[in-house]
Amino acid sequence: MKYGHFIDYVKSQFQTEKFIPLHEPRFNGNEKKYLCEAIDSTFVSSVGAFVDRFEQNVAGFVGTKYAVAVVNGTAALHIALVVAGVESGDEVITQPLTFVATCNAISYCGAQPVFVDVDQHTMGMCPLSLETFLREETEMRDGVCFNKRSNRKVTACVPMHVFGHPCDIRRIAALCKEFSISLVEDAAEGLGSRVEKKSVGTFGDSGVFSFNGNKVITAGGGGVIVTNDERTAKLAKHLTTTAKVPHAWDYEHDSIGFNCRMPNINAALVCAQLEQLNDFLVSKRKLAMAYNQFFCDIDIDFKLEPEGTTSNYWLNTIQLVDKENQVEFLKQTNEMGVMTRPVWRLMNQLSMFSDCFCMPINNAVFLSDRLVNIPSSVIIHK
Ligand SMILES: *Cc1c(COP(=O)(O)O)cnc(C)c1O
């Protein structure tokens, strides 16, 4: 079997002959203690001390002034886009190589995704493709960017940091500034990833992280919006909490709000997880470096973090030579109990988004025929 060596190697790394998932959570800290504290406090729902602690600790970790806890990453993206001013009929720039939640959140605003290509190296949004779209397909009218062909307002740009590898966010941020477009980073996969010393999610108007069960750390389900802008933070908090005007007893709501607060019980879990994040990141880096060495020796491309960046190596990724090899690799590994997955189907190929404006996306097509994710859970050395 062509990929037998790899299967043996993964089993030796994870020290098991059992099924090896792509990414499973680890609960080795204060999870049970904090969950019991939350239950004993009776504050299990949408307010509580753990929610406040979580917001403070996340903001501290990524280095922003504010963090707003939300029920999941998709809702966090939705609210971040609403706060960024995305309205029905607008266009929002993103990439075809992303998880469907990015495009769903854009759609919840009544807006349409516009797809620009990704970079083959970072796998994230390609600044050159973005620049080509902005210079050739849009024009400024009274300081507002419009798509010349569709006549729609281009309000926001949502680059995604794929599998934790930072995209070229500085160049993207400069372009967004030049064209007066809001920048919302989908950093759902990138907690712990940095460009030089600066965390992903902190380069634009706001950034979003997910704490779903398959991410680096989990709240069971959860998300957060991070920002340095006070107005953004206040409005996000207001909209996620039914847009209720603070009052001792009165129910006054000043706009159509959402109920997408993170429950305190979930915040308790993720507070315990956050305490272990640095250790998890060390373990994930160690596994990635071992994989890199292994694949170097058998001449398969392992996706290393782009130069000048630090990846959290959320999901380790290899690039096979063609589609045929990709399918063969997936078949052999999954049959032998080593879970591997191809990258997502490109968004412009999904029926809901097939009519959306799309730049040439040769790199996205190239990568989608070749990328495969391999087991990446944190390994606890006893
Ligand atoms: C996980 C993920 C999300 C959504 O997060 P949920 O918490 O599952 O809603 C959004 N975007 C990307 C790129 C993701 O990987």
pLDDT at 382 over 70: no
Contact 182, 84 (CB under 8 A): yes
**Cα distance between residue 167 and residue 268, in whole Å:** 31
Residue 131, pLDDT > 90, answer: yes
Q: How many CB atoms lie within 10 A of CB 258?
A: 18
H/E segment holding residue 327: helix 323-335
Distance from Cα 70 to the centre of ligand 1, integer Å: 12
Query: What 3-state class would DSSP assign to 88?
Result: coil
Kindly give, in sequence order, each residue whose CB lies less than 8 Å from that of residue 61, ignoring residues fewer than 6 positions away: 191, 199, 274, 277
Which ligand 1 atom sits nearest the alpha carbon of residue 211? 7
Q: Which of 301, 304, 300 is CA-nearest to residue 313?
A: 304
The pLDDT value given to residue 211: 98
| Domain spans, the chain | 4-23+276-373, 31-274
Cα(83) to centroid(ligand 1), Å: 18
* Stretch among 38-42, 100-104, 116-120, 378-382 having the lowest mean pLDDT: 378-382
Neighbours of 26 (CB within 10 A): 17
The residue contributing the CA closest to ligand 1 atom 5 is: 73
pLDDT for residue 380 is more than 90? no
CA of 32 to the centre of ligand 1 (A): 25
Per residue, what are the HEC states of 146-159? EECCCCCEEEEECC
58 CA from centroid of ligand 1 (Å): 17
**C-alpha 50 to ligand 1 mean position (Å):** 22
Sign of the C-alpha dihedral computed for residues 43, 49, 55 and 58 taken in this order: negative
**Tens digits of per-residue pLDDT, 94-118?**
999 999 999 999 999 999 999 999 9
Q: Which residue has the tokens 């020290």?
A: 15
**Residue nearest to ligand 1 atom 10, measured at CA:** 101
Atom of ligand 1 nearest to the CA of 76: 9
pLDDT for 46:
87
d(CA 199, CA 219): 20
Q: Name the band, by pLDDT with cuts 50, 70 and 90, for residue 1.
A: confident
Choices 1.10.1780.10, 3.30.2320.20, 3.90.1150.10, 3.20.20.80: CATH for 4-23+276-373: 3.90.1150.10
Over residues 263-320, the pLDDT tens digits come to 999 999 999 999 999 999 999 999 999 999 999 999 899 999 999 999 999 999 999 9
Nearest CA to ligand 1 atom 14: 188
Q: How confident is the model at residue 381 (pLDDT cuts 50, 70, 90)?
A: confident
Best residue among 23, 70, 74 to mutate for probing ligand 1, ranked by most atoms within 8 Å of CB: 74
Q: What is the pLDDT of residue 253?
A: 94
Percent of the chain whose predicted confidence (pLDDT) is above 90: 98
Q: Which residues fall within 8 angstroms of residue 129, CB to CB, at 6 or more apart?
A: 116, 117, 118, 359, 360, 361
Q: Which residues of 30-45 are buried (b: 16+ CB within 10 A; e: fewer)?
A: bbeebbebbeeeebbe
Residues 173-206 pLDDT 10s = 999 999 999 999 999 999 999 999 999 999 999 9
For residue 168, pLDDT beyond 70 = yes
Q: Between the CA atoms of 329, 332, 335 and 340, what dihedral angle is there, to the nearest 10 degrees?
A: -20
Q: Kindly report, residue by residue over 46-75, the tens digit of the pLDDT.
A: 889 999 999 999 999 999 999 999 999 999
Considering only the top CATH level, what class is 31-274?
A: alpha beta
Q: Which residue, by CA, sits nearest to atom 13 of ligand 1? A: 99
- Residue 107 CB neighbour total at 10 angstroms: 17
pLDDT at residue 2, as a whole number? 87
Q: In a mutational test of the pocket of ligand 1, which residue from 78, 94, 167, 212 has the highest number of ligand atoms less than 8 Å from its CB?
A: 212
Query: Ligand 1: residues within 6 Å at CB?
Result: 72-74, 98-99, 101-102, 160, 186, 188-189, 210, 212, 223
Q: Please tell me the distance between residue 43's alpha carbon and the centre of ligand 1 in angstroms.
A: 26
Between the CA of 345 and the centroid of ligand 1 the distance, in Å, is: 15
What is the reported pTM? Answer: 0.97
Give the distance (Å) from ligand 1 centre to CA of residue 71: 12
Please answer whether residues 80 and 183 qualify as being in contact, where contact means their C-beta atoms are separated by less than 8 angstroms: no
Which is the closest atom of ligand 1 to the Cα of 223? 7
DSSP-based helix, strand, coil % in the chain, nearest 5: 40, 20, 40
**What's the farthest any 2 CA atoms get from each other in the chain?**
69
| pLDDT at site 343 | 97
Percent of residues, the chain, with pLDDT higher than 70: 100
Task: Measure 74 CA to ligand 1 centroid, in angstroms.
Answer: 6
Ligand 1 centroid to Cα of residue 213, in Å, is: 10
Task: Tell me what the mean pLDDT of segment 19-36 comes to.
Answer: 97
Q: Which atom of ligand 1 is nearest to the CA of 215?
A: 1
Q: What is the mean pLDDT of the chain?
A: 97
DSSP secondary structure code for residue 352 in this structure:
G
**Do 273 and 34 touch, CB atoms closer than 8 A?**
no
Domains 4-23+276-373 and 31-274 share a fold: no
